[in-house]
Amino acid sequence: LAKTTQPISMDSYEGQEVNITCSHNNIATNDYITWYQQFPSQGPRFIIQGYKTKVTNEVASLFIPADRKSSTLSLPRVSLSDTAVYYCLVGVISGNTPLVFGKGTRLSVIA
């Protein structure tokens, strides 16, 4: 399984755009990149997934360069409620092999 590396923590002010980068240098051809968000005292929840280029949904955008060795989760205009831990996972998305959660990035949004 591809190993991921992401910053341990980040701080941001409300209203700013936040970009969290994840490195996955040994990503395999069939691997997808998936991000989860975990609020305090809750289980993680899926927010976005992609294979290459750019994916956008109502929560976030995911940017993946051509070599796919890294990816960037972008949160537009964060609010206090975006304070959470964000996990980057890399692996196949078919079948039942579980993806591996790392330690995640703790994002603190400050008023």
Partner 1 sequence: DVKVTQSSRYLVKRTGEKVFLECVQDMDHENMFWYRQDPGLGLRLIYFSYDVKMKEKGDIPEGYSVSREKKERFSLILESASTNQTSMYLCASSETDRGAKNIQYFGAGTRLSVL
CB-nearer residue toward partner 1: 23 or 49: 49
For residue 103, the minimal CB distance to partner 1 (Å) is 4
CB-nearer residue toward partner 1: 56 or 77: 56
CB-nearer residue toward partner 1: 95 or 111: 95
For residue 46, the minimal CB distance to partner 1 (Å) is 5
**Dihedral Cα 36, 38, 42, 45, nearest 10 deg:** -20
Report the interface residues with partner 1, using CB under 8 A.
32, 34, 41-46, 49, 87, 91-104
- CA gap 66, 77 in Å, rounded: 26
Task: State both tokens at 79.
Answer: 């609010």
For residue 98, the minimal CB distance to partner 1 (Å) is 6
Residue burial 96-105, b: 16+ Cβ < 10 Å; e: rest: eeebeeeebb
